[in-house]
Amino acid sequence: MKNISSWHRINEADLALCLQLNRLSHIRVWRELFRVVSRLGNGVFWYCLMAAMLVAHGAEAWPTVGRMVLAGLLGLAAYKWLKKRTSRPRPCEVYAAISAAAPALDRFSFPSGHTLHAASLSLVAVANYAELAPVLFPFAVLVALSRPILGLHYPSDVLAGAVIGGLVAKVALSI
As a whole number of angstroms, the longest Cα–Cα distance in the chain is 59
**pLDDT score for 7:** 82
Q: How confident is the model at residue 2 (pLDDT cuts 50, 70, 90)?
A: low
Say which CATH architecture domain 2-174 belongs to: Up-down Bundle (1.20)
Confidence band, pLDDT 50/70/90 cuts, at residue 6? confident
Mean pLDDT (the chain, rounded): 95
Q: What pLDDT score was predicted for residue 1?
A: 53
Range name among 5-19, 40-54, 62-76, 133-147 with the lowest pLDDT average: 5-19
Rounded Cα distance, 117 and 93, in Å: 24
Neighbours of 149 (CB within 10 A): 27
The more confidently predicted of residues 106 and 165 is: 165
User: Residue 116 contacts by C-beta under 8 Å, 6 or more apart in sequence?
Assistant: 75, 78, 79, 161, 162, 164, 165, 168
Name the pTM for this structure.
0.93
Q: What is the pLDDT of residue 10?
A: 86
- pLDDT tens for each residue of 94-112: 999 999 999 998 899 999 9
Cβ pair 100, 152 in contact under 8 A: yes
